[in-house]
Amino acid sequence: MDETQEPFAQLWSDRPSIPTGTALIMPMEVAGESAKDKLARLRNKLSEKRADGMLVTMLDEVAWLTNLRGCDVEYNPVVVSYMLVTNDSATLFVGSEKIDTDVADYLATEGILIAPYENVWAALAAYDKATILVQPTRCNAAVTRNLKSGVELLFEDSPIAAMKAVKNSTEIDGFKKAMLAEGIAMVKLLHWLKPAVEKGGLCELDVDRKLTELRSEDDTFRGLSFATISAYGKNGAIVHYEPTEESNAPLHPEGFLLLDCGGQYTGGTTDITRTIALGNLTPEQCEDYTRVLRGHISLAMAKFPKGTCGTQLDVLARQWLWQAGENYLHGTGHGVGHFLNVHEGPHQIRMNHMPAPLLPGTTVTNEPGLYKAGRHGIRIENTMLVVPHCTTEFGEYCALQPLTICPIDKTPIVPEILGIEAIEYLNSYHAWVFELLSPYFEGEMFEFLKMQCAPL
């Protein structure tokens, strides 16, 4: 095999071509910071690491850095590209068909050059700086092979991930608008769901289609942020279940529907899970639901020193399950992009050690669950914003503020297991949900929302 060629070019005979969708500009009133200013901040970070340049390989990092969005990857509004940033230049390597005149003019004003996508290898071969930063877990070996000898490789994590994780005030405002649109659609779905199930003939995929239809009523909706998990009964115990035409289970007025879904809006990305009682439940289902909810609320109520990492908080969500000898084997929380990938880091909330701190301005999900094979699955998820809480003689403290605006099903709750403090939090959360959503409903829908948000 010719080692100068990409091996996939010879091994993958029916490889699909790179998508050709046009890149879109995120205006300042949505992005909140110019690409030029982001590049200046990045160059300062690179200087601190003694790096003269960096090859940006992660598509969401390129998108954030340039304030461009695209449609090249399903659910993720990114553009297939590379970006080479040095202390005195920035070049976006991208297919010419993706860059129209407006985007080309915009990039020029931001100090970003454009080159053909395939020219990235020649640019690396011609790289004339002393050092370059590459993230070894996020790039291929061709990067190091194409650099000429003498260039010092700095294998480090990309500084862009941590920069991108902390949202500015404009991005946070966009998230709140996206969550409002999502909450309106979700309440409409909940109002429709149980009567439709009782009528009969409804299946898992019908719920997915209905929710997409309801989301599409908002002009800022751009598509799903991931494949909807609409999982009824025992399918809910499959953590990453995705209904297909073959597995599409019929819904009955009993048991749980686990609905994990998210949308891409021009102002932000949503990720929400609700476990919905469709009818009669067993005592086991009610207890399991209540323990998951209590864990969700315990984490939501957390106050912690600034710089705390997610691993240090993870037990708050698991403790009530652990008391019953139960657990779940996925992470409790992940970052969420701003009209970008629904999963982003570097911060996470999970049992295995993740050192990245939870800082004010970062978004993170709160999604404990419980899964019993062949029986049922439960997960309750809100997207949260890390905010300042207080400053004391012991330092700065942070808290988690909910961004997700949607009622949580109260039907399965066992009050004596949930506890007074958690009940008070839930009532407060529902009062906030009602305050924000009630202006958008009237008549029967208003009364439905009022009932869903009534104090426990």
Q: What is the mean pLDDT of residues 194-220?
A: 97
Q: Is residue 1 part of a domain?
A: no
Q: What is the pLDDT of residues 9-25, one digit of tens each?
A: 778 888 888 898 899 99
Q: How many CA atoms lie within 13 A of 241 on its CB side?
A: 30
Cis peptide before 7 (omega within 30 of 0): no
Our count of domains for the chain comes to 2
Statement to judge: residues 225 and 100 lie in one domain: no
Q: Is residue 159 part of a domain?
A: yes
Statement to judge: residues 291 and 338 lie in one domain: yes
Statement to judge: residues 156 and 174 lie in one domain: no
Per DSSP, the residues of 17-85 read PPP-PPPEE--HHHHSS-HHHHHHHHHHHHHHTT-SEEEE--HHHHHHHHTEE--SBTTB----EEEEE
- pLDDT value for 1: 35
- pLDDT value for 387: 98
CA distance 155 to 153: 6
Q: What is the pLDDT of residues 125-177, one digit of tens each?
A: 999 999 999 998 888 888 888 898 899 999 999 999 999 999 999 999 999 99
Q: What is the pLDDT of residues 84-100, one digit of tens each?
A: 999 999 999 999 999 99
- pLDDT value for 194: 97
Statement to judge: residues 92 and 209 lie in one domain: no
Q: Is residue 60 part of a domain?
A: yes
Statement to judge: residues 123 and 173 lie in one domain: no
**CATH at 241:** 3.90.230.10
Q: Is residue 108 part of a domain?
A: yes
- pLDDT value for 68: 98
CA distance 356 to 310: 8
- pLDDT value for 2: 44
Q: What is the pLDDT of residues 290-346, one digit of tens each?
A: 999 999 999 999 999 999 999 999 999 999 999 999 999 999 999 999 999 999 999
Q: What is the pLDDT of residues 377-396, one digit of tens each?
A: 999 999 999 999 999 999 99
Residue ending a domain, among 124, 146, 163, is 163
Per-residue pLDDT band at 239 (split at 50, 70, 90): very high
Q: What is the mean pLDDT of residues 424-430?
A: 98
Helices then strands (H, E): number in the chain? 15, 22
Statement to judge: residues 105 and 228 lie in one domain: no
pLDDT at 8 over 80: no
Statement to judge: residues 366 and 248 lie in one domain: yes
Q: What angle do CA 269, 271, 272 make, to 5 degrees?
A: 145
Q: What is the largest CA-CA distance in the chain?
A: 73
Q: Which domain holds residue 438?
A: 169-452
- CB-CB contact of 41 with 163 (8 Å): yes
- pLDDT value for 114: 98
Residue ending a domain, among 137, 163, 189, is 163
pLDDT exceeding 90 applies to what percent of the chain? 93
Statement to judge: residues 435 and 288 lie in one domain: yes
Per-residue pLDDT band at 5 (split at 50, 70, 90): low
Q: What is the mean pLDDT of residues 253-281?
A: 98
Q: Is residue 126 part of a domain?
A: yes
Statement to judge: residues 438 and 335 lie in one domain: yes
Alpha helix ranges (H) inside 269-418: 283-300, 314-322, 415-418
Q: What is the pLDDT of residues 215-224, one digit of tens each?
A: 999 999 999 9
Statement to judge: residues 208 and 137 lie in one domain: no
Residue ending a domain, among 148, 163, 178, is 163
Q: Is residue 239 part of a domain?
A: yes
Statement to judge: residues 269 and 367 lie in one domain: yes
- pLDDT value for 141: 84
- pLDDT value for 96: 94
Q: Is residue 59 part of a domain?
A: yes
Q: What is the pLDDT of residues 24-65, one digit of tens each?
A: 999 999 999 999 999 999 999 999 999 999 999 999 999 999
Q: Is residue 2 part of a domain?
A: no
Statement to judge: residues 154 and 266 lie in one domain: no
Q: What is the mean pLDDT of residues 242-260?
A: 97
What integer best gives the mean pLDDT of the chain?
96
